[in-house]
Amino acid sequence: MTARPVDDAAPLGTEASAFFAHLEHVRHVSPSTLRAYRSDLDAFRAWLPAAGAMLDRLELRRYLAELQARGLRPATIQRKLAALRSFFRYLREQHGLDTDPARLVRGPRLPRRIPRFLSIEEVDRLLSLQFEATFQGLRDHAILELLYSTGCRVSEAAELPLERLDLQEGTVHLVGKGRVERMAILGPQAAAAVGDYLPLRHRLLASRRRPDPGKLFLNRSGTGLSSRWIFETVVRHARRAEIAIHLTPHGLRHSFATHLLDRGADLRTVQELLGHKRLVTTEIYTHVSMARLREVYDRAHPHGSHADG
């Protein structure tokens, strides 16, 4: 299969449906990623007639330049490029595409963003909040404890089956991106919070007279709690704890990783606990820890920038 003229919509037409099926059923991408890739490929397909030339690397670079000229953020352009790379890689591997126009194309450089995280004192303040001994109160406490104890993604918490928890052993099997499984640790405080919540969960299902959906976290109707609800739960209780930053579930994940490294955990262990495929993804937390070390150094060392002189 060779590169085709851009007025032939087949590369983004008939093969696109098979590509999205491949993403969903073989690569097991999340629904949000699937929606984004559909939108990105539709936008690229709409641009193609304006190109008026063979679809090659130069045309693809021109497309990215136009996106940049429109004022799109570098992260958005990189995501669109990732969708195109994934699509052309699929055509190359599954349909014998000879020329991959996206293979060597680079997107705009992304600024190195240091994750926002809580101090240990802030985490203690959040988890020490008073929670009512009600279904919602004990559930919310269990959510916060589990997110910080395991460092899991919000989607992993929302989809977590009850059967994958072992409170006695203090472990939980998480299913991450691409359906990759990993073991996470449920510390004593988190295990206790989940243990307090479970009887009320069982009681709710009995009162609603409905079958158990299997997920750990339920809403008051007895169905699985959404990622959005967990997100809002974290934001709401962070406000109660007067946390200065806008805390999200991912902020607790960042805090989990940072605190482990600060206390001597090696990078490979943190990579495994976070479920990162590549070590370079985890390395961002070494920059966070170094920034904290430098802050302490500057404050405490006689020749530090904030030392009394």
Q: Which of 63, 90, 197, 285 is catalytic?
A: 285
Backbone angle region of 218, left / alpha / beta, with phi > 0 → left and psi within -120 to 50 → alpha: beta
Alpha-carbon gap, residue 162 to 152, rounded angstroms: 15
Backbone angle region of 170, left / alpha / beta, with phi > 0 → left and psi within -120 to 50 → alpha: left
Cβ 167 vs Cβ 189: under 8 Å: no
Q: Is 250 known to be catalytic? A: yes
Q: Which of 61, 62, 177, 215 is catalytic?
A: 177
Q: Is 148 known to be catalytic? A: no
Q: Which of 153, 237, 254, 259 is catalytic?
A: 153
Q: Is 4 known to be catalytic? A: no
Q: Is 153 known to be catalytic? A: yes
Q: Is 177 known to be catalytic? A: yes
Q: Which of 27, 57, 79, 250 is catalytic?
A: 250
Q: Is 63 known to be catalytic? A: no
Which tokens hold the place of 146?
Answer: 């589990």
Which tokens hold the place of 27?
Answer: 């690569």
Phi and psi at 305, nearest 5°, equal -70, -20
Q: Which of 141, 237, 253, 254 is catalytic?
A: 253
Alpha-carbon gap, residue 84 to 181, rounded angstroms: 27
Which sequence positions are flagged as catalytic?
153, 177, 250, 253, 276, 285
